[in-house]
Every structure is written in C-alpha cells, then in structure tokens.
A and B are shown apart, each in its own frame.
Chain A
Amino acid sequence: MAAIDVIGLTAERAAAMLRAGECSSEELAGAYLERIEAFDPALHAYLHVDPELTLAAARTQDQSGNVGLAGVPIAYKDLLSTKGVPTTAGSKILEGFIPLEDADVVARGNAAGLVSLGKTNLDEFAMGSSTEHSAYGPTRNPWDQTRVPGGSSGGSAAVVAAGLAPWSLGTDTGGSIRQPAAFCGLVGLMPTYGTVSRFGVVAFACSLEQVGPMTLTVRDCALLQQVIAGGSERDATCVGLREPIVLPEPGRLDGVRFGVPWAELEDGVDPGIRERFDASLKLATELGAELVDVELPYARHGLAAYYVIAPAEASANLSRFDGVRYGLRVDGPDLRSMYEATRSAGFGPEVKRRIMIGTYALSAGYHDAYYVQAQRVRTLIRRDFDAAFLGVDAILLPTAPTTAFPMGARMDDPLAMYANDIFTLPVNLAGIPALSIPNGLVEGLPSGLQIIGAAHTENTLLRFGAAFEQAIGFDPVPPTLRGGAA
C-alpha cells in the first residue's frame, strides 16, 4: 500500500478518508509516527511518543469502525494530564510524573475516538513565548529551523506545521496558542474564558487561561473546538457554551464592521507585519466589510497588569511542587531545606523569575499597589472592549508584533520576550475569544492576523476567519516540506 501523504492533510480530510475506508487509523497513525521518527529529532517538538501505545489505540478505533472523528490522530501539549502517560509541563520538577487521570479535554478527545500521537514541548509551566524555556530543550520552527516556533505552545504548533500531527491542543494564557500559531502559519483559537474545562490542565494562571485548538484550517479549528468545548462538573469556572460551535462556510463579509485600534499600532510593530496587516484590512473591505477606528486606551497597560496577575496566580499554583507527594525531591536535613533545594533544582530561571514577581506582588505592603491595581486595570480593559463591541462585530490586530525571531535572540531580555504578547494578552485579561489565522509571509516567515470578538462569539470569529482564509489562500505547508525533507 502506498504510504499516506500526511503533509498538509487536514483532520477533516483524514476523517473522511477513514470513514470511506481509504485507509485505517493504524496506517494513518503509522504514517505520522514514521515522520516523527525521521524529523522530530531535529525539531524536538515532541517530549513523549509511545508508538506501541498509539498504534494499539488506533487499532482499537479501527475495530470500532471509524465514525465521526474516530481514528484521527492528535498531539497534546505536555501541560495536559494524560492518564498513565508521563506529563512534565516542560519542567524537571515533574520529570517522570504519571497522572492518575486524563484532563477533561483529553477525555473528550478519547471519547471522540482521537488517537494520541504524543505530548508536545512547551515553555516550562507555559511561561514563555518561544519554547526556549523548556527544561528539555527548545523546539525549532519548521519554517526556519534557526528560529523559534513561538510559545508557550511551540511544540504543538511545530508538530502541525511539520506534518507530525494533523492538529493539536495548546493552552493560551497570554497568547500561547495564537502567537505560536502565527509564527508557524497555523490557525489558533483562544476560546471564551469558561467554555473549555481546565480540569487536569497543569495550572499557570487560572483566571486567564484556556485550552484551544491549533490546526491547519479554520474548519479543522471549529471541528476540534466542538470536541473539547462544553461544561464540566470538575471545573467550577467552566460554565460551557452558550451555543454550539458551527462549522463555518467561507463567504463574503458584507455588512461586517471591523474595529481597528490604530492607536495601538503606532509603534512596536515590524514593518513587514504591518504591511501584511494593512493588506488584510484592504482585503476585508474588498469582501464588503467596513473598518472603524476603535479605542482601547487601557490595552497598553495590559502588559503590566498581565505581568502582575499571571505571576501572582502562578506563584500560588506552583507552590504545590514541594517534593512531598510527587515529582522531584532533593533531600535536605530538614523540611525547609528540602523545599528550597527541591524547588531550586526543579524550576528553571523564567519560572523562578515569575514566582518571585508574583510572590512580591502579593506580599504584605505591595498587595494593593500591584495585585489589586492590576485587577482594576483589567476591569478597565474589559470595559474598553465591551464599549468597542457595541459598534463593531470584531476587532482586528496583528497577532504578534514580529515574525519568528532567531533562537536565543530574546533570552537575555525578559521584557523583550514579554513584548511578544502585547496584542494577545489584553484578550486573556478580558476573558474574550480571539482567532489567529495566517495572513501571508514576511521574508518567508508566516504572519498572523488576530480576529477578536465579544464573549461567546466564536461562531462569528470562525465565519470571519473562513472568509479571510479563502481570500488569502495561504499554504500552511512550509516550502521545505514540499521538497520532501522535514
């Protein structure tokens, strides 16, 4: 039988092939596993692959008859707990940790018959924008292996871009799905806060993050969101969807009003990114949409507010890693030395930085000036968006201010690294959804367009995304792959 060509293969197409009996799940998974074996050593996008387990799961799906999405392979960010399968959160402190249960989203994936290809690399505890902060080594961008894939869901992005999985799940706290999607030429969705269960997702910043799809197409994104979204009894903040996710049909954008916060684009955006963004705006008007200036005056304080709130919550969430019940332990003569030695050895420098900032911001004397003040800024950012959405259907921004930067370029400057997220993190602060789609290439590197909506407007965003996607006609397969190599 001819090997299945999985390069550029969407999950939707794969599902159709399986249902039509054109191939089996075992063959399909096998094809991905072959590519993983050949090309992942260079990319280092996967942290854990168990071919036997994968093939066994695929065979099980074949035996049940592949209905719906059953038998379609998927990759999971190694922040999502997988029962019986190591989950590291990209950290040494969880090396060898085996979860007792699947995360809710993984359980939903299993219920849909998706077959796990493995766990993907990430910045340690999702803290980062380049995946260079993984304790297990960085991941390379399939578009240019001297560059970063973005982060923290860099591994999840790279596997899809490189044809090592048809789609994947990432998590997004300040842009960690959207920015790597933009860097790797993919579609990424940050869902409305509270629509996808966080149970079993190793927590970074509880009030900001969601699990979301990273895919080759907008339709695949909708398909995967249909699998993972919905209420959960085990997550009190997950109240579920207000309406079911609908698979979008591409079309025009007549009568659509897009808000553009021009004031936020004045500086800090690469010229190439700006050029692609302007081209997207022009395209929007050609498709019948209207552009409206909107003001988000507090969005520019989003970075500061985010880098108080996220580390504050994280500093508490990471306190459980104390060497007592699981994970790394470095012994000491007494309890306190054990705690300190364990956490010192187990956490990388970025995680330590954030724990320190968060602890400081919550500590006596600083709590009001930092933490409470940041939460006030958050209220104002939400109000800015609410006001803007009264007059527009969605807001457009570049996803990231630059394309994928070279490895090592921002490691010495934490603030430069944080600046990656200036367009994405206000969305998390407001709890609203945003879709990133590729809108072209800048010197051979993908650029992303971000479509931001009011809470629970995913279907609208997907429809807009599909319209842009069709009009832009971006090929998500890196040229290097077309040539036959990785």
Chain B
Amino acid sequence: MSAPWQKNGYEAVIGLEIHVQLATNSKLFCSCANQFGDEPNTNVCMVCLAHPGAMPVANAEAIRQATRVGVALGCRIPETSEFSRKQYFYPDSPKAYQISQYDQPMCAEGLFRVPGEGGFDVRLTRAHLEEDAAKMIHAGGEGGRISGSAGSIVDFNRVGTPLLEIVSEPDIRSPEDARRFLTLLRATVVAIGASDCDMEKGSLRADANVSIRPIGSTEYGTKTELKNMNSFRFLERGIEAELERQLEVVLGGGSIEQETLHFDPVAGTLSSLRSKEQAHDYRYFPEPDLLPVHQTEAGLVELGSDLPELPAARFDRLVAAGLTEPTALALAVDADLARYLDAVATDTGDLKTSANWTMGEFSAHLNGAGLSANQSPVTPERLAALIALVVDGTINQTAAKEVFGVLVEDPQATAAGVVVDRNLAQVGGDDALGEIIDAVLAAHPEEVEAFKGGREQVIGFLVGQCMKQSGGRADAKALQGLLRARLNG
C-alpha cells in the first residue's frame, strides 16, 4: 500500500460503505423506469408510492447484476438469500420500511485485491441489494440543508431504484488507499456493465468509517461515519480531515464520540449530521411478500465465465507485458481505453509504442475533445498505421504528431496519404543528411571550433540548425551520429 497514515504513534483504520446504483431498465420492486432526471413524481406507481395493497416483485436483472458484481469482487455467493424489512420513519421511505437484506445477503465475504507494487488487499464483509430512498427537496433553509428549513417536498421518482450496498472491513490504512481502493472497485463494477458508477449523478456513493488507534494495537477505536462525499478527491480529503480531527481530540486528552459527519470540501471543515448514539432499532424481519432467492452452482459458473477481463487482471497482464505500473493502472481502470490499446497493439505488434501513443497523443485528444475511446474518429486501425510509419523510420516524432492531428480533423485521411501530401517523409540517408551537415557546419564555424575545443553541448545547437534546414524532417538520431562523426573526425 501507499505510505500508511501514521502520526504521533497512531494509525488510521478506515472502512468504506459503498452504494452502487445498478443499471437496470426498471426499479427493483416495480416496473417504473430506472432513470435519472425526470420531472418530480412522474416516474411513480402504486407500488413505489406505497399505496395500501401494493406489493413488491423482485427484478430478475437486478439480482443477476448484483450476483455478477459479487463474483467480480471475489465474494462468496450463498445458495439462498432473503429480503428483509428495515423499519424507520422518514418521508423519503414511503413504506416506513426499506426492503433490504439483513442476515442472508446476496453476496457474503470476499477479498478485493488492489494490485501492483503498492498493492494491498481489502476484505469485503458483504454486498446486499436494497431499494433507494426518495428525494427530499428542502424548501427554505440555507443551501437546501435540512436544519432551519420550512418543510420539504418529496419527489418519489428515485424511490425503489436498485442499490447494491458493498461493505468493506476496516482494512484501509490511508486516505490515499481509500481512494485507490474505490477507484479500482468502481472500475471493476463499470467493466462488467453493472452500473455507470457516476458519483456526480449519485449512481456511486461512498461513506467512510474512520477511526484511529495506537500503532500495533489490535483493538478498534470509536469510529465516526463520513457521509455524502461525492467525488474521489473529496473522499480522500474528507478522510484526511477527519483523521486529523480525531488525532487532535485524542492528543488533547478527549475521546471520540460516535457520530455521523459531513465534509464540506469548499471550507475543508467537518460538521455533525446526527449523533449515532441513539442508534436506530430497525426491527429487521424477513420480508413476507418476497420469497427467498436461490442460486445454482451451474448458474454461478456460467456468470463467472461470462465476465470480461477485470481491472486487476488487466493490470497484471499489462505489467507482465512490460508496461510501467502507472500506465498499466491507468489502462486497468479505463476499459474503453484498454480495449483500444489492445486493438492497436495487436495490429502493430508493439505494445510499448502503442501504449505510449495511446496514453500520450490519443488520450490528450480524447480529453480535449471530450470523447471516449470508441467515439474518436482515430480508430485503432488508423493509429496503428501511423505508428507503423514511425517504427519503420518513415517519419519522425514531430511529423508523426502532425499526421495525428490530420487524422483527427479528417476522418477520411490515411497516415500514409498525409505523409505524401505534406512531404513529411523523414530526411534520412547519409547523402541527404551529409549535404545539410556540410551547409550548417560551413555557416557556423564558431560553434565548430567550440565543439572541438571541448564544449560538446553546442552539438545541440548544430542539430537544431540541421533540423531547421531539413524543414524538421531529418531523422534526429541519425543526424546526431553523423554530426558527431564529422566533428570528431
């Protein structure tokens, strides 16, 4: 792992509770559409409004996706799972109970590997299905916050959306590791198509349980819960801030109170949402309106074999193929880009060069244009053709970048065609270069003297002049070699 957070003899103990909104067509227990952004209360029905006589019927696809996530994260999938009623009164919960899973969740314990040199394992406690709550729009009050408001309006569009709650053991030892763990977990869920995991839209939510303890201790300190951090950066900063706060309290002789906190990323401050001392009595019992879910050995095997390459495995594969860890990681968490690279590398037969181009020029172009890899006009075949021309020496790097620019602008252009059209073929061959060298050396006698006098660095200037003469098309390496030979000879 990255350097663990350790200060004044204390270490960080961090666990994450992650909610993933599954990408199904319909809600978990009714047939309303599972979609975002509708006008309030236009995506509802008798069931998700909890009218008298309404009954839930479980979405088969949600169960399938939840199982796939469990398998992808390395969880054991029990043969039977049950739905439970989790009871509490709040306007965002129309039945005054949430249908969740209590003692027989969809996915049981697992081990999630963050790979690489600084890699580490995080034990997963469980993952279970539950329905999302409604949205409350707080009227009045400052910035839409609850306290000081003049009541609220409830929008039930979101209620009943399928969520998978993934709980980790407190195995994480630094805010950075929390971010790395979440990044890789997110990439895994996205890779299998179970969710788009967009923190801004709320289809990925992460809460952190944070505590500190003396280094070497095996007991756990009192933990606080950090909620509603809606970006990876805020997660990391929020955990950092909370660790500092707890340290300050403890060093000052105080004790940590169990509470729920909110991190304000703008101000960088933590505030208490509610005290967890009055823990809810959820009065869980098995949901009588839903029958248990059964998994078969055969079904699970099929699900498992059907999964695409997962990020951790991709990372291992790319590192083994010779890419650096940072490159491998960037590709591991971006499935589209990784697929793109695979296609290019298969074509060119040169993974390293293909990776350099993919992570370099191509990624810059994607970022600038706001495109994903499969939306770019520069298809793997077109890039591969360009790379081939660089590798075989037809063009140099500078020219290649120019060609790339044209490939972006003009979807019809081919690399070879552009090279011809713009006369970008590298100036190479001893004769052509020899002529240029002659001209430059003749024009700069002082520099020649300087070089012969021991100031070898002027060769850079001379190379530059030669490049200018060649219109930027000279093969720089060959040039350097020839120049040196001439100057020394």
Which residues of A are at the interface with B, using a C-beta cutoff of 8 A? 80-81, 87, 89, 94, 97, 99-101, 103, 198-203, 205-207, 233-237, 312-313, 316, 319-322, 324-326, 335, 339, 359, 362-364, 367, 371
For B44-74 the 0/1 string (1 means CB < 8 A from A) is: 0010011111111110000000000000000
Query: In the complex, are the beta carbons of A236 and B53 less than 8 A apart?
Result: no
Contact check: which of B89, B95, B285 meets A371 at CB < 8 Å? B285
**Would you call B111 an interface residue if the criterion is a C-beta within 8 Å of the partner chain's C-beta atoms?**
no
From known contacts A206-B289, A319-B87, A320-B96, infer whether A99 and B55 are also in contact, taking CB-CB under 8 Å. no
Contact present for A236 and B283 (CB under 8 Å): no
A99, A205, A324: which contacts B94 (Cβ < 8 A)?
Answer: A324
Contact A339 B89 (CB under 8 A): yes
A320 with B289, Cβ < 8 A, contacts A81-B53, A236-B55, A236-B57 known: no
In the bound assembly, the distance between CA atoms of A94 and B54 in angstroms comes to 15
A320-B95 contact in complex given A203-B52, A364-B281, C-beta closer than 8 Å: yes
Q: Main secondary structure on chain A at its contact with chain B?
A: loop
Residue from the list A100, A234, A362, A367 in contact with B51, Cβ < 8 A: A100
Once the chains bind, are B52 and A81 in contact (CB under 8 Å)? Answer: yes
Residues of B within 8 A of A362 (CB): 87, 283-285
Q: Which 6 A-B pairs have the closest CB atoms?
A: A319-B96, A206-B288, A362-B283, A207-B288, A200-B53, A202-B52
Least CB distance from A429 to B in Å reads 13
A234 interface neighbour in B55, B89, B97, B285, Cβ under 8 Å: B55
Let me know if A236 and B95 touch, CB within 8 A: no
**Chain A residues with CB below 8 A from B284, complex form:** 362, 367
Contacts of A316 in B (CB 8 A): 85, 87, 95-97, 283, 285
Contact A99 B154 (CB under 8 A): no
Q: Per-residue 0/1 for B95-116: is the Cβ within 8 Å of any A Cβ (1 yes, 0 no)?
A: 1110000000000000000000
Contact of A94 among B52, B57, B87 (CB under 8 A): B52
Bound form: Cα–Cα A234–B89 in Å: 25
Q: How far is the CA of A205 from the CA of B87 in the complex (A)?
A: 16
Q: Does B265 contact A (CB under 8 A)?
A: no
Instruction: Name the residue of chain A whose CB is nearest to the CB of B57.
Output: A236
Q: Bound complex: CA of A441 vs CA of B84, how far in Å?
A: 47
Q: How far is the CB of A223 from chain B (nearest CB, A)?
A: 25
Chain B contact patch, size range: 20 to 34
* CB-based nearest B residue for A97: B52
Task: Compute how far the CA of A233 lies from the CA of B60 in the bound complex, rounded to whole angstroms.
Answer: 13
* Other-chain contact of A236, B46, B50, B58 (Cβ < 8 Å): B58
Known: A322-B89, A362-B284. 14 other contacts (CB 8 A): A80-B53, A89-B52, A100-B46, A198-B55, A200-B53, A203-B53, A233-B57, A236-B290, A236-B291, A325-B51, A326-B51, A362-B285, A363-B281, A364-B281
Residues of A within 8 A of B85 (CB): 316
Could you name 27 residue pairs across A and B whose Cβ atoms are closer than 8 Å?
A: A81-B52, A81-B53, A97-B52, A99-B51, A99-B52, A199-B53, A199-B55, A200-B53, A202-B52, A203-B55, A205-B288, A206-B288, A207-B288, A235-B289, A236-B289, A237-B290, A237-B291, A312-B285, A313-B288, A316-B285, A320-B94, A320-B95, A322-B96, A359-B283, A363-B283, A364-B281, A364-B283
Q: Which residues of B contact A201 (CB under 8 A)?
A: 53
Q: Say whether B91 faces chain A, with CB atoms less than 8 Å apart.
A: yes
Residues of A contacting B94 in the complex (Cβ-Cβ under 8 angstroms): 320, 324-325
Give bound CA distance, A80 to B91, whole Å.
26
Contact assessment for A325 and B288 in the assembled complex, using a CB-CB cutoff below 8 Å: no
**Chain A contacts of B95 at CB under 8 A?**
316, 319-320
Chain B residues, Cβ within 8 Å of A202:
52-53
Please give the distance in Å from A462's CB to the nearest CB on chain B: 28
Residues of chain A lying within 8 A (CB to CB) of residue B55:
198-199, 203, 234-236
CA distance A321 to B54 in the complex (A): 13
Residue contact A237 to B289, C-beta cutoff 8 Å: yes
Contact with A along B250-291 (1 / 0, CB 8 A): 000000000000000000000000000000010111001111
B283 touches A367 (CB 8 A): yes
Residues of chain B with a CB closer than 8 A to A321's CB: 52
- A210–chain B nearest beta-carbon distance, Å: 13
B136 to A: closest C-beta gap in Å: 11
> B281–A324 contact, CB under 8 A?
no
> Which residues on A sit within 8 Å (CB–CB) of B285?
312-313, 316, 362, 367, 371
- Please measure, in the bound complex, the distance between the C-alpha atom of A220 and the C-alpha atom of B52, giving whole angstroms: 29
Quick one: which of B236-258 are within 8 Å of A by CB? none
Task: Kindly list chain A residues whose C-beta atoms are within 8 Å of the C-beta of B53.
Answer: 80-81, 99, 103, 198-203
Verify A319–B97 contact, CB threshold 8 A: yes
Expressed in whole angstroms, the Cα–Cα distance for A316 and B286 within the complex equals 11
Q: Contacts A206-B289, A236-B291, A316-B97 given: A324-B91 contact, CB under 8 Å?
A: yes
**Which chain A residues lie closer than 8 Å to B288 at the CB level?**
205-207, 237, 313
A318 to chain B, nearest CB (A): 9
Which residues of chain B are near A97, meaning CB under 8 Å? 52
Chain B residues contacting A234 (CB-CB under 8 Å) are 55, 57
Instruction: Select the residue from A100, A200, A233, A234 with max chain B CB neighbours within 10 A.
Output: A234
B155 to chain A, nearest CB (A): 12
- Interface hits, B123-166 → A, CB 8 Å: 154
Nearest opposing residue in chain B for A324, CB measure: B91
Most buried by A among B54, B285, B291: B285
User: Within the complex, what minimum Cβ distance (angstroms) separates B484 from chain A?
Assistant: 81
Chain A residues in 8 Å Cβ range of B46: 100-101
- Measured between alpha carbons, how far is A94 from B89 in the docked complex, in Å? 19
Closest to B87 in A: A316
Q: Which B residues lie within 8 Å of A233 (CB)?
A: 57
Collect the chain A residues with CB atoms within 8 Å of residue B52's CB.
81, 87, 89, 94, 97, 99, 202-203, 320-321
B151 CB → nearest A CB, Å: 9
Complex Cα gap A203–B49 (Å): 15
CA of A320 to CA of B53, assembled, Å: 11
* A374 → chain B closest CB, angstroms: 11
User: Hey, which chain A residues are within 8 Å of B50, CB to CB?
Assistant: 320, 325
Chain B, residue nearest A93 (CB): B52
Complex CA–CA separation, A78 to B206 (angstroms): 45
Residue with the greatest number of chain A CB neighbours at <10 A, chosen from B50, B284, B291? B50
**B51 CB contacts on chain A under 8 angstroms:** 81, 99-100, 325-326
Give the complex CA separation of A359 and B288 in angstroms. 16
Shortest C-beta distance, A410 to chain B (Å), equals 27
Contact partners of A359 in chain B: CB under 8 A: 283
Q: CB-nearest residue of chain A relative to B56?
A: A236
A233 to B57, CA, bound (A): 8
Minimal beta-carbon separation of A394 from chain B (angstroms): 27
